[in-house]
Amino acid sequence: MNRHSGAILVLSGPSGAGKSSLINKIKDHIGPTYFSISTTTRGKREGEEEGVHYYFVDVDEFKSDIEQEMFLEYAVVHGNYYGTSLGPVKKALKEGKLVIFDIDVQGHDAVQNRLSDITTSVFITTPSLEELKRRLHNRSTDSEEVIERRIEMAKREVQRISEYDFLIVNDTLEEAAEILISIAKAARMKIPTLQINEFVQTWEAS
């Protein structure tokens, strides 16, 4: 029965832990998916495309969408707004897709509060803080000030790993991808509480 309903896979972890690389690695191996694209007020980075990496809006437009309750979740990260629009998520779930979120711990809280019975969560991180620092410096996309903010946030986020269903230490990309594929397939089999109750009633009556 659960094969006909959609499910949610939440991925969180420090910037630089390799979440995007892992998603790209597994996306062709886990069946029909919808990758939730966040809306943000931060500036567009080199190589980023509207509607592919993010939906880029100004602060006034974002605040207007908040007032109209158009977000599943939203948060302020490093001085910029990030949010997840409800419409595309609902549509993907109705189509039976696995909806993948790449969101921070605040976003994870919001999704769990509203959709916990179809949500599986994974925290992805580097083997150590020193390795995270190395990766952030090597990718050369942020200023030293931004990197320091990301590191401080990472220290806070790691303290909340126990709130997630799974932990993946992304040391070797291939091994981490194999683990994430297994988790994604299992996430599809998670049965919503309502469907479980309906099954029990039918089972008892037959």
Say which CATH number the domain at 107 has: 3.40.50.300
Structure token pair of residue 116? 């916990």
Give the range with max mean pLDDT: 44-53, 67-76, 116-125, 191-200: 116-125
The answer to whether position 101 is within a domain reads yes
φ/ψ (deg, to 5) at 73:
-155, 155
Answer yes or no: are the C-beta atoms of 122 and 164 closer than 8 Å: yes
The answer to whether position 89 is within a domain reads no
The answer to whether position 53 is within a domain reads no
Q: How confident is the model at residue 140 (pLDDT cuts 50, 70, 90)?
A: confident
**Residue 143 scores a pLDDT above 60:** yes
pLDDT at 163: 97
Structural domain count of the chain: 1
φ/ψ (deg, to 5) at 155:
-60, -35
The answer to whether position 86 is within a domain reads no
The answer to whether position 52 is within a domain reads no
Across the range 123-145, mean pLDDT stands at: 93
Range(s) of the domain holding residue 148: 2-36+97-205
pLDDT at 129: 97
Candidate from 9-23, 48-62, 176-190 with smallest mean pLDDT: 48-62
pLDDT at 86: 86
pTM: 0.84
Burial of 170 (0-12, 13-18, 19+ CB in 10 A): buried
The answer to whether position 60 is within a domain reads no
